[in-house]
Structure 1
Amino acid sequence: MLNNQSIFITGGTGTLGQAFIKKALTEFPKIKEITIYSRDEMKQYDLRREYPSGSFPRMNWVIGDIRDAERLNDKMKKTDIVIHAAAMKHIPICEENPEECLKTNVEGTKNVIHAAIENKVKKIVLASTDKAVDPISIYGNSKQAAEKLFLNASNEVSKFAIVRLGNIWGSRGSVVPLFKELAKTGIIPITHPDMTRFFCTEDQSADAVHYTLKNMKGGEIIIPKMKARKISDLAKELAPECAYKIIGLRGFEKIGEKLASDIELERLHESKHFWMINKTVPSKDAPCISHQLDSSLLLKYQLN
């Protein structure tokens, strides 16, 4: 599938980008080129040490910002596949800097779309989040807008699709490394005792991108089947010796997340490891599995 293809990854130094690179290089030895396009030179420096040019000549490294439409367009030339994983993701920072969040997550995504169409890229996949479903945060709203842009971008040459993920286990900025760090203080803050979140592994996230590239026709949302975890249980598991302090929900948080909206359920189809939301094709079976797509309801269903 990826052999003889030139792949361009925005935000490629992040957790998803690294997982995708590892899987791609392992399973597809004849990849033509992988371009890592990101703006953080230190993250690129660190990752380049794992993939030295002498051993990995197919790796191409570019410092660039998705806000820079001209550079993005220039560096995407002769690309077959784009994985768009660049985004502002830290929710409190996005809340404090909403204009910057929108510039990156919405305007930057628009630039990716235009560059891909201009360069006649065949397949383009957006890495999205469950926060885009019925959003209440600026981050969630920005990713919902990015999804809408992708869902309406496909043409006869360039096909666009979305991978919608939960929290990637252990990724930078996620609750797992945070709890491990806070464990040193002896106190773990919990916003709400019943808060739940969906989690996926790095391998699941990479598998979801590969599955999307293999099966997409344009306009789909692919969702890997993920487990819901209660955050208070997670804290006890990661820091069993610590005390726990309930600090209350912040204005941009939900008690539970959803992987699909009620409207999307009408177009949802199920396979063994994934759900697929088609752009227009309805599904009669989707409503009966709706509890599996709501972290609060799914956890109750699992416990019962």
Structure 2
Amino acid sequence: MIKNRTILVTGGTGSWGYELVRQLLDFEPREIRIFSRNESNQFTMKQEFDNNPKLHFIIGDVKEKDALLEACQGVDYIFHLAALKHVPVCEDQPIEALKTNVIGTQNVIDAAISCNVHSVVNISTDKASNPSNFYGLSKAMAERLIIHANTLNTKTRFVCIRGGNVLGTNGSVIHVFKKQIKEKGKIGITDLNMTRFFLTIEEAIKLVFKATFESIGGEIFVMKMPSCKIIDLAQVLIDSSDVENVDVDILGIRPGEKLHELLLSEYESKTTITFDDEYFVILPTSQSEELKEHYSKYKPVNLLNYNSSKELMSKDEIKEILQKGRFI
């Protein structure tokens, strides 16, 4: 599907974008356009990919529709990764989060339709499910815009992919904990009972391709992800370091933070099917005949919700996934 196609990746110089581009090259695309506003990251990424002639770097911001329209000329697929992602930043500057995460997403939709793009894949977050902070709220709105776009009279197909935390991405708790252990000899934990979903970036991107190739349009693909207690994750990192007597400070939950993350809410579970061992699929309340027919053979989910407090990984399992991701 992607061979000899032109692909645009918004926010392409971030951790997700870097791995996405790395794996996209294996599909032999004609061109990958990496659209971001970070000149320094673009320069570094260009060097790290040995000036690959298939990569075309474009300075631009999803808040500017004209720049997107120009970048989308002749594009077949868009992977929309650009977003303000840090919860405290979005809480402190909600207008900026709104402009990038919501209006920016609508700009991507408009540009894709105008340029007859085949498919748009929007990368979302567990924080969009029953959101408790502005980041989650803005991403939930972006999801709704993407799903609504699929009902428009256009050949462009739109799909969302929702996942939890990815290990080692920019600002990841992994990097924070390792830095605190090395430099301070102590780590800060918001709550001893806090849990989160985690997956390696390589596995997450493989799941992105799976949903891209198997989607019809109008769905939200929800990744099935392992989860763990944050304190257990921290303890594995402490045990794997050469630092002794590391203290743990209990900081308390920050505004907008949840004790347990939610990938699938009680409300959403009513229109969700079990796709396979790797995905749930949330179907829109108003479904096309194509969607109804395609998913008629799948069974509805047999759960109230899907949150990170269930089926927690042991410390040995956490250690294994950290070793797999080359973090310890």
Give the TM-score normalised by structure 2.
Answer: 0.86
Q: CA deviation at 1:224?
A: 2.0
Corresponding position: 1:250 with 2:254: yes
Q: CA deviation at 1:74?
A: 1.1
CA contact (8 A) 2:265 2:304 kept: no
CA contact (8 A) 2:226 2:313 kept: no
What residue is the counterpart of 2:140 in the other structure?
A: 144
Deviation string 1:145-198 (CA, Å, 9 cap, x unpaired) is: 000000100244011000101111011111110101111201111111100000
AA at the equivalent of 1:244? V
CA contact (8 A) 1:19 1:205 kept: no
Q: CA deviation at 1:287?
A: 4.4
What residue is the counterpart of 2:302 in the other structure?
A: 288
CA distance in 2, matches of 1:34, 1:252: 36
Query: Among residues 175, 178, 181, which one is paired with 2:179 in the alignment?
Result: 181
CA distance in 2, matches of 1:209, 1:23: 11
Is the alpha carbon distance of 1:162 and 1:243 closer, same or farther for their aligned partners in structure 2, counting shifts above 3 Å?
same
CA distance in 2, matches of 1:10, 1:194: 35
SS of match in other structure, 2:122:
strand
Corresponding position: 1:9 with 2:19: no
CA RMSD of aligned residues (A): 1.9
Query: Among residues 268, 275, 283, which one is paired with 1:264 in the alignment?
Result: 268
- Mapping 1:211-250, distance limit 5 Å: 211-240=210-239, 241=244, 242-250=246-254
Corresponding position: 1:89 with 2:85: yes
AA at the equivalent of 2:174? V
Q: CA deviation at 1:273?
A: 1.7
Q: CA deviation at 1:298?
A: 3.6
CA distance in 1, matches of 2:45, 2:163: 23
What residue is the counterpart of 2:164 in the other structure?
A: 166
Is the alpha carbon distance of 1:67 and 1:256 closer, same or farther for their aligned partners in structure 2, counting shifts above 3 Å?
same
CA contact (8 A) 1:204 1:224 kept: no
Q: CA deviation at 1:290?
A: 4.4
The answer for unaligned runs of 5 or more in structure 2 is: 286-291, 315-328
CA distance in 2, matches of 1:287, 1:294: 14
AA at the equivalent of 2:252? G
SS of match in other structure, 1:192:
coil
Q: CA deviation at 1:285?
A: 4.7
CA distance in 1, matches of 2:10, 2:31: 14
SS of match in other structure, 2:262:
coil
CA contact (8 A) 1:9 1:37 kept: yes
CA contact (8 A) 1:44 1:61 kept: yes
SS of match in other structure, 1:200:
strand
AA at the equivalent of 1:216? S
- Mapping 1:56-135, distance limit 5 Å: 56-135=52-131
Query: Among residues 259, 272, 279, which one is paired with 1:274 in the alignment?
Result: 279
Give the TM-score normalised by structure 1.
Answer: 0.93
CA contact (8 A) 1:208 1:222 kept: no
CA distance in 1, matches of 2:302, 2:247: 39
CA contact (8 A) 2:221 2:282 kept: yes
Q: Which moved more, 1:153-162 or 1:277-286?
A: 277-286
CA distance in 2, matches of 1:79, 1:157: 14
CA distance in 2, matches of 1:286, 1:297: 19
Q: Percent identity?
A: 38
What residue is the counterpart of 2:194 in the other structure?
A: 195
Q: CA deviation at 1:215?
A: 1.1
CA distance in 2, matches of 1:143, 1:168: 17
CA distance in 2, matches of 1:254, 1:243: 24
Q: CA deviation at 1:24?
A: 1.4
The answer for unaligned runs of 5 or more in structure 1 is: none
Is the alpha carbon distance of 1:253 and 1:70 closer, same or farther for their aligned partners in structure 2, counting shifts above 3 Å?
same
Q: CA deviation at 1:297?
A: 3.1
Deviation string 1:60-93 (CA, Å, 9 cap, x unpaired) is: 1100000111111111110000000000001111
